[in-house]
């Protein structure tokens, strides 16, 4: 046991590097989803750059009309600028930040308990949620990162002499809410309750509030400019006048739905067989809570255990009060404190005087590594099959862009796309970034239909290398399958009845590209 944990930092770095390599391999060659959400985000960031206009708000929430703060866009601005808008850079950026957050947490816990730090960070690095959220970029997928950072900064704040540490934690609570409001909204009220329960000075509580308030200034300015439009929508939704989050459900339905939701969260905390994961986590909860209530938790792990248990209780109460059904992305960050419970239990076993019990954590970690590698190997076996059938996969969208440019053979052309999501944000960005970088020019026109009202603010400013088309009106149509509303796709094609088809290509994943010209 002593030899195994003689240098947990080296062991953790091995886990960190191996998990990093696996995550990067899984998305190499543009093998990641690039849907309307990702295309919209890239388009919004692009517009910030080309129009020199700072953003006051970010992506939309589940309540249409209520927008997140702009932090998600500023967070992704560095890789966007460094790599010319390459979406792969954002995916790698998200992967690197997850790894760094686990490393940061390790060093903050390591000061009191290197063993606990190793268990916490290695379980996070090997967790299914860590691998799954690394396979495409999306603001909700970054919630585990900011949940880890939130806990890390609380631990740091509790042990540092820096007098403005509570202000920093307050800022983190506000930034996390701008990543995914449905979970991030818990952070500031929980932290204030935590400060009150731990009998912090009023100035510390005030610091945390100020830190949070700083982060909502951009949204407040947006609200002032637009007559509190988001506030009105939000109030309408939670006073029963809106239906965007779905119908309110009875308490009995809540218990059933929340239980299913929790089971799914626990399932994604470890790659071990499900029965083992459920039994182990249930046992861990019972033991850790018993130690907490009986005040037998070791001093070295007391700080993390108190924060974790209080946060879990606070979260459960909040979501029991939440009137609608929970969506799976609302609680991606909740897997983090659940993993903390597992790690605290493992550290408790390590402290046992019984050699067999003492050896169980080593066996658990070895088994976790083995099953994690097996799970990722199984994923690699089907990965390319999954991407080959997905029209929203980035490498497939690039293939469509390549076909268009090769058929255009240097001529100017217009490009119109039909996607089930209507808005053509993925191709808006793909032609702006990849088309310009690879072929040196841009379409003369690009939209989901000709002559549409402007749906990208000052969109024309981004198209600086347009090549106008000639008399033949060379036009390309990209059509993604719409299994739910095929009639709508046919109606969309009716807008091009004045053009004649020259060539057509249907890719194996179902996307169709048509070359059209003015009829003779």
pLDDT for the residue numbered 162 = 92
Looking at the structure, do residues 324 and 454 belong to the same domain, yes or no? no
Domain annotation covers residue 2: no
Which of 444, 480, 479, 483 has its CA nearest to residue 465? 444
Q: Choose among 157, 207, 199, 194: nearest CA to 307.
A: 194
Give the range of the structural domain holding residue 380, as residue numbers without chain letter: 8-386
pLDDT of residue 4: 59
DSSP secondary structure code for residue 81 in this structure: H
Mean residue pLDDT across the chain: 91
Asked if the structure places residue 1 within a domain, the reply is: no
Q: Which residue has the higher pLDDT, 382 or 242?
A: 382
Whether residue 428 sits in one domain with residue 350: no
- Kindly report the CA angle at 439 between 433 and 444, in degrees rounded to 5? 75
Do 65 and 125 reside in the same domain of the chain?
yes
According to the model, what pLDDT value does residue 176 have? 96
Per-residue confidence (pLDDT) for residue 89, from 0 to 100:
97
Domains: count for the chain: 2
Rounded distance between C-alpha atoms, residue 205 and residue 195, angstroms? 7
Cα distance between residue 323 and residue 177, in whole Å: 19
Final residue in a domain of this structure, among 341, 366, 386: 386
Whole-number pLDDT of residue 75: 97
358 vs 21: CA distance, rounded Å: 31
What does the block give as tokens for 219? 């949204």
Residue (of 162, 129, 179, 126) closest to 346 by Cα position: 126
Residues 5 and 378: their CA atoms lie apart, in Å, by: 30
Which of 357, 386, 415 is a domain's end point? 386
Under 8 Å between Cβ of 244 and 62? yes
Q: What does the DSSP 8-state code read for residue 433?
A: I
Domain limit, last residue, from 386, 414, 447: 386
Do 510 and 361 fall within a single domain? no
What integer pLDDT is reported at residue 254 of this predicted model? 86
The secondary structure of 316-357 as a DSSP string is: HHHHHH--SPPPGGGGGGGHHHHHHHHHHHHHHHHT-SSHHH
Q: Are residues 363 and 420 in the same domain?
A: no
- pLDDT-based confidence at residue 382 (cuts at 50, 70, 90): confident
Share of the chain above pLDDT 70, in %: 96
Residues 377 and 401 in one domain: no
Q: CA–CA separation, 324 vs 493, rounded Å?
A: 39
On whether residue 282 sits in a domain, the answer given is yes
- pLDDT at residue 226 tops 80: no
Measured distance between the N- and C-terminal CA atoms of the chain, rounded to whole angstroms: 82
In the β-sheet with 475-479, what is the strand arrangement from edge to edge? 445-447, 414-418, 475-479, 512-518, 499-506
Separation of alpha carbons 305 and 109, rounded Å:
11
One domain, residues 334 and 441: no
Q: Using 50, 70 and 90 to split pLDDT, how confident is the model at 484?
A: confident
3-state secondary structure of 199: coil
Using DSSP's 3-state secondary structure scheme, residue 518 falls into: strand
Evaluate if pTM is beyond 0.85. yes
C-alpha–C-alpha distance, residues 371 and 92, integer Å = 24
Q: Is residue 150 part of a domain?
A: yes
Q: Are 191 and 173 in contact (CB under 8 A)?
A: yes
- The arithmetic mean of pLDDT across residues 160-182, rounded, is 94
- Is there a single domain that holds both residue 88 and residue 213? yes
Q: Are residues 458 and 433 part of one domain?
A: yes
3 belongs to a structural domain: no
Q: 401 and 326 share a domain?
A: no
Residue 19 has pLDDT above 60, yes or no: yes
Is a pLDDT exceeding 70 seen at residue 6? no
Is pLDDT larger for residue 254 or for residue 32? 32
**379 shares its domain with 430:** no
CA atoms of 9 and 107, how far apart (whole Å): 9
What whole-number distance in Å separates Cα of residue 176 and Cα of residue 174? 5
**What's the average model confidence in pLDDT over 319-343?**
91
143-161 burial by CB neighbour count: b if 16+ within 10 A, else e? bbbbbbbbbbbbbbbbeee
Both structure tokens of 289: 């809570």
Distance CA 504, CA 512 (A): 7
Residues 373 and 495 in one domain: no
């Amino acid at each position: 046991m002593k030899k195994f944990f003689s240098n947990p930092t080296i062991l953790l770095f091995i886990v960190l590097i191996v998990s990093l390599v696996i995550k990067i391999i899984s998305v190499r060659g543009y093998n990641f989803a690039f849907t309307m959400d990702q295309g919209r985000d890239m388009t919004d960031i692009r517009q910030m750059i080309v129009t020199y206009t700072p953003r006051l708000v970010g992506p939309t929430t589940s309540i249409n009309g209520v927008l997140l703060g702009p932090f998600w866009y500023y967070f992704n601005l560095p890789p966007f600028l460094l790599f010319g808008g390459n979406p792969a850079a954002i995916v790698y950026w998200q992967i690197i930040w997850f790894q760094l957050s686990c490393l940061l947490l390790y060093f903050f816990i390591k000061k009191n308990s290197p063993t606990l730090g190793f268990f916490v960070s290695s379980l996070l690095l090997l967790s299914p949620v860590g691998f799954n959220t690394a396979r495409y970029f999306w603001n909700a997928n970054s919630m585990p990162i900011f949940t880890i950072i939130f806990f890390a900064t609380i631990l740091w704040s509790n042990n540092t002499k820096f007098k403005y540490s509570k202000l920093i934690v307050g800022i983190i609570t506000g930034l996390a809410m701008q990543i995914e409001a449905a979970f991030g909204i818990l952070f500031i009220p929980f932290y204030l309750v935590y400060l009150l329960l731990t009998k912090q000075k009023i100035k510390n509580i005030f610091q945390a509030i100020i830190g949070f308030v700083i982060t909502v200034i951009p949204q407040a300015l947006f609200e002032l400019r637009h007559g509190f439009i988001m506030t009105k929508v939000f109030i309408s939704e939670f006073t029963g006048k809106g239906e965007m989050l779905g119908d309110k459900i009875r308490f009995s339905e809540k218990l059933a739905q929340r239980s299913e939701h929790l089971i799914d969260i626990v399932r994604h905390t470890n790659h071990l067989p499900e029965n083992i994961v459920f039994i182990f986590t249930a046992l861990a909860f019972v033991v850790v809570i018993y130690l907490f209530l009986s005040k037998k938790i070791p001093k070295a792990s007391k700080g993390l255990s108190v924060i974790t248990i209080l946060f879990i209780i606070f979260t459960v109460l909040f979501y029991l009060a939440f009137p609608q059904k929970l969506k799976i992305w609302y609680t991606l960050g909740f897997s983090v404190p659940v993993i903390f419970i597992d790690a605290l239990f493992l550290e408790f076993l390590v402290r046992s005087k019984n050699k067999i019990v003492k050896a169980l954590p080593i066996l658990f970690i070895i088994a976790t590594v083995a099953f994690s590698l097996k799970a990722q190997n199984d994923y690699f076996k089907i990965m390319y099959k999954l991407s080959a059938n997905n029209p929203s996969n980035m490498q497939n969208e690039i293939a469509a862009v390549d076909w268009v440019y090769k058929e255009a053979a240097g001529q100017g052309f217009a490009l119109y796309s039909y996607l089930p999501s209507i808005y053509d944000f993925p191709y808006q960005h793909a032609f702006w970034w990849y088309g310009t970088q690879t072929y040196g020019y841009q379409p003369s026109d690009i939209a989901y239909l000709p002559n549409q009202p402007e749906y990208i603010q000052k969109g024309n400013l981004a198209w600086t290398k347009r090549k106008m088309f000639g008399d033949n009106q060379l036009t390309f149509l990209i059509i993604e399958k719409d299994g739910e509303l095929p009639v709508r796709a046919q109606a969309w094609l009716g807008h091009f009845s004045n053009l004649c088809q020259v060539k057509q290509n249907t890719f194996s994943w179902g996307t169709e590209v048509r070359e059209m010209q003015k009829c003779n």
